[in-house]
Amino acid sequence: MAKTEIATLGGGCFWCLEAVYNEMEGVQSAISGYMGGHVVDPDYHAVCTGSTGHIEVVQVTFDPEVNSYREILDVFFAIHDPTTRDRQGNDAGPQYRSAIFYHDEGQRKIAEETVRELDAEGLWSRPIVTDVRAAETFYPAEDYHQNYFRNNPGQGYCSFVVAPKVAKFRQKFAQKMRRG
């Protein structure tokens, strides 16, 4: 049985991240959910109030022999704006915070190093504000949020926000796409 690792990432609406990681070779699952708050078993409506402290995240289970954790993070930084706190495009609120929740010290070191390197490269006109935090309890989002883009490709938000991120991934990371 292949070894797997878990990456938990918040980069705006979880539909966007989930859709991209579902396209990536070596990813076994990408589950939309919530992490980082103080309410047990939150739901979407509570998280959207911004009062639970949770961030919309995607928990990615991947094969590290196909993609390294750094490669997972490279995709993460390529498909969202890590320089805006609590906002991605028109999605605003603390639930849309850019965050990396590390699952062990190795992931913490890689995440912090990645942020430092990307900041030093000056890819963005503002500094990276992505939080790097220890993973907490992951709460899967409601069923209707899972595979949202795949199930609703013609929905307005999917057409205008999610689809361009998927297209960007396909263009920039063609060698990392699922085959078949």
Active site residues: 13
Contact call for residues 139 and 105 (beta carbons, < 8 A): no
Q: How many angstroms separate the CA atoms of 7 and 113, rounded?
A: 16
Name the nearest CA neighbour of 29 among 171, 180, 178. Answer: 178
**Cα 11 from Cα 99, distance rounded (Å):** 7
Residue 5 phi/psi, 5-degree rounding, is -125, 165
Closest by Cα among 107, 105, 93 to 59: 107
Look at residue 39 and give its three-state secondary structure: coil
- Determine contact, residues 42/142, Cβ cutoff 8 Å: no
